[in-house]
Amino acid sequence: MPPRKRTESAPTDDVPTRRICATDEVNERLLRTVPGYADTRSEIENRTGRMVAFEGAVLRTGCTSIPVVVHVVHRTTAENISDAQVQSQIDVLNEDFRARNADRTNTPAPFQGLVADARITFRLATTDPDGNPTNGITRTSTSRTSFNSEADDVKSASTGGADPWPADQYLNIWTCGNLRNSRNEALLGYAQFPGGPAATDGVVVLHSAFGTTGSATAPFDRGRTTTHEIGHWLNLRHIWGDDGTGCSGDDFVADTPNAAGPNFGAPTFPNITCGNGPHGDLFMNYMDYVDDAAMFMFTHGQVARMQAALDGARSTIGTTAPCRDKGFADDIVKPLPTENVKDFIKERPKELVKEPVKELPKDVVKDTPKDTPKEFVKERPKELVKELPKDGGFDPKDFVEGPDFPQGPVVQPVQPGLGGQVPFVLGGQARGAAGGGDPLLPLVQQVGALLWAYSSAAQQGTLSPRDSARWQQLSAVYAQLVALLG
C-alpha cells in the first residue's frame, strides 16, 4: 500500500526505510556508564540460563497479564496518535505473544514446530500510580523535533518527554516522532533489557510504526516493532547475536539457527548463511529485522527466556492465571507480591562465576543452547563475572514468583537426584553444585510435585477452591523449605 499522507509537515528523513533498533547500543551505553549494571546483567543471565537448562523449571505455568501505560509524546497532529491506534497495538501484542496471529501459518514447514505461545498478554492500565482510574494513555505536547536513544530524552518531562510510571508495576511504552540513535540514524524503536535503571525502563516506538491504524505506515504498519522491542524488554536478543556478520554471535537460544546478520525486507525461504542449510535463517522470527508482514513467530527457546525474565528480573510485574482462550477469570487474577521477597534469604552472594565452564554435567542437562559467544557483549568489561560463593548461597533475586500462586515467592522444584542446589550458569552453560544427603530434600520434592499437580489442574479448569487456597499457601512454604537446603 502507498505511504499515508502526513497531516503536518515533518522532517522527510524521520522514518527509516528498513528496520533498525537501538537496543544493543543502549545496552552497551549502560554497561559503560551505569555502575553495577554489568554485574546485574551477568546475574540475570546466570539465572536465565539455569532456568532454561532445566526444562520445566520456569514456574509461571499459566498466562501473565502485563499492565501497560502508553506515553504519547507529540509535536504534530500525526504524532498525537488516537486511542484507537493505541488499542490496535495492544490487540497485536495479544495475538503475537499468544501465537494467535493468523499469519503464523506462513511459517515455512521445517520451522512450524518451533512456533510457540509465550503465554503473555497485555492490557492498558486501569489504575494510575496514585490509585486513580485511567485509560492507560498519557499525552504530552512537546516542542522537540527529535528524540535520541543515546540520551533517552523521550523518557523524562525535563527533556521534553514524559516521565515513566513505576517500572516494577507497569510496562512503560513511549511513542514519538523522529527517533534517532547516537549516529543520527532514524530508528523504529528501542528497549531496555531487564536490570537497567528504573527511570528509563521500558520501550520506545516511532509513532508511524505503532499499531495498525492511524499514522501507522507500511512496511511497519502491523505493530511488529512493538512486539520486537517488548521481546528485548523480556530479555530476548537479536536472532543473529549482534556480532555484525561474523557468524560467531549468540542469542542464547538453542532452537534459533545461527545467522550471519540481520535480514531485511521480505526474504525468500530458504536464506542460507553461516552454513545453516538446508533451511537457513529463521528470518520470520520477531527478533530479526524483516518487515512487519514477514515476521510472525517466537520459538520455544525464546519463550523459555521470556518466562525466565518474568520469574526473575521482571517478577514484580503482571498478574497470573491459568491460560484461557477467552481471557482471564477475574476471580483468580491476583497481583504478584512486591514486598517481603527478600525475607527468605538474608545474605546474597557478592561474587559470580569467574568464567563460563566449557562442559555441562552430562547427567544434568541433555540439550544445551548453542556455544556461548567469546564475548558476552561487545567490549565486555574484564570483571564482568567473578567467582561464585563456595558455601552454596543463593541470590535473593533467585526466589521468584510461582506460576499462578501469588501469595509468596517460589523457586524452581529441586530435581530428583540433584541434591539441594541447582547449577549456576552463564549464557546457558552450567556449573554443577554439590548436593545430596539433605534430609529435607524428599519433603521439598513432595511439595514441589504437589505444586505442579495443582498447576496442571488449574490449567485444565479442575482446581477446586479449597485446592486453590492450598496451592497459594504451599507455594510460600515451598520457598522457605528450599531456602533451608544446601
28 is catalytic: no
For residue 40, what is the domain's CATH number? 3.40.390.10
Does a structural domain hold residue 310? no
Bridge partners of 138?
71
pLDDT, average across residues 13-17: 77
Lowest mean pLDDT among 210-224, 241-255, 337-351: 337-351
Residue 469 pLDDT: 66
C-alpha cell at 129: 500510580
Is 53 domain-assigned? yes
Q: What's the CA gap between 151 and 326, in Å, rounded?
A: 41
Q: Is the pLDDT of residue 152 over 90?
A: yes
382's CB contacts (< 8 A; 6+ apart) are: none
Q: Percentage of the chain surpassing pLDDT 70?
A: 68
- State which residues form the domain around 77: 23-303
Residue 343 has pLDDT above 60, yes or no: no
Residue 181 domain-assigned (yes or no): yes
Q: Which of 113-122, 264-273, 323-332 has the lowest mean pLDDT?
A: 323-332
Single out the catalytic residue among 25, 43, 229, 401.
229
Q: How far apart are CA 56 and CA 107, in angstroms?
A: 26
| Span 429-435, average pLDDT | 32
Asked whether residue 182 is domain-assigned, the answer is yes
Q: Is residue 380 part of a domain?
A: no
Domain count, the chain: 1
What value does the mean pLDDT take over residues 183-210? 97
Residue 177 lies in a domain: yes
Q: Is 343 within a domain?
A: no
Which cell is 233 given? 524488554
Q: Give me the pLDDT at residue 296, please.
A: 97
Residue 32 lies in a domain: yes
Mean pLDDT, the chain, whole residue set: 78
Residue 355 or 115, more confident? 115
